[in-house]
Amino acid sequence: MSTSARVLDPSTSSTPSLDPVHGPGPLVDPHGALRAARAVGGAAGLLSAVLLVSNALKLGGVVPAVALNQLLAPFAQSLAIVLIAMLVAATARRTGAWGVLAGAVNLVGLALVVAIEALTNHVFPYVTPAQVAELREGPAGTLLVVGSMWFLVGTLVHVGVLLAGRAAPVVPLVVYGVTGALIGLRSFLPTPVVAVAVGVLALAVAWIALDLLRGARRPR
């Protein structure tokens, strides 16, 4: 056989051949990508739960508010964004387009809560009470109200879709929904109630995170 014939022969060519019926295989293993998403989401969720406990203890007055825990406070919600984004990816087959849409609404709510936490931990402690009152009467007050309400609605909508699709364990989802609603109503509730809600939310977040990690270890 000539050199040119060998190059054109699929059996000797170094270029991968295409399946004439099914076409090329996927460039990324979807099962591997899903396991990776679960692992990333689970790890982020566990870190978020730890920071939520810190926030609850600070909010309840169990530990003093110091520069470190105030600095780290918004990262609880930032890591929760990663958890929820990976949860949306992991449950998309069960929940469909509604799950993706509800998850997006929830993610926007979490992003607004990150801004609220940054405001209350990185700005309010360093200005006078009169300046805090002035900020609350302006755009900062609007952020506090709109962000809290969006978070409340986004949490309940996403939890409802996940429950309807049986896409995650029921107990942590219900706890996540109830405590998320209480946190969304924080402006109308006593601080100790909100502190307890944040602490219980940490347990729900850790449970959801562990469920994602178990899914990441499951064989195909």
Give me the half-sphere count of Cα atoms (radius 13 Å) on the Cβ side of residue 117: 26
pLDDT of the residue at 1: 47
CB count within 10 Å of CB 118 equals 16
Q: What is the pLDDT of residue 187?
A: 87
Q: Could you give phi then psi for residue 11, rounded to 5 degrees?
A: -70, -20
Residue 62, classed as helix, strand or coil, is coil
9 in a domain, yes or no?
no
Count CB atoms within 10 A of the CB of residue 181: 16
160 falls within a domain: yes
Please report whether residue 148 resides in a domain: yes
Alpha helices in 9-64 (DSSP H): 30-59
Contacts of 177 (CB under 8 A, 6+ apart): 155, 156, 159, 160
Give residue for tokens 């069960």: 94
Number of domains present in the structure of the chain:
1
Residue 12 in any domain: the answer is no
pLDDT for the residue numbered 198: 97
- Please give the DSSP secondary-structure letter assigned to residue 220: -
**Contact status, residue 144 vs residue 116, Cβ threshold 8 Å:** yes
Mean pLDDT, 10 residues at a time, the chain of 220 residues: 46 45 53 87 97 96 93 95 96 93 97 95 92 92 94 96 94 96 93 96 97 77
Q: What is the model's pLDDT at position 28?
A: 52
Give the burial class of 19: count Cβ atoms within 10 A of its Cβ; 0-12 exposed, 13-18 middle, 19 or more buried.
exposed
Residue 152 maps to a domain:
yes
Q: Report d(CA 35, CA 194) in Å as an integer.
A: 34
What pLDDT was estimated at residue 218? 64
pLDDT on residue 176: 97
State the Cα–Cα distance between residues 118 and 111, nearest whole angstrom: 11
Tokens representing 121 are: 């931990």
Decide if 14 is inside a domain: no
Give 65's Cβ-side CA count (13 Å radius). 14
Domain assignment present for residue 43? The answer is yes
User: How high is the pLDDT of residue 215?
Assistant: 82
The tokens for 80 are: 């929760």
Determine the structural domain holding residue 37 and report its residue range.
31-217
pTM for the whole structure: 0.83
Assess if residue 116 is contained within a domain: yes
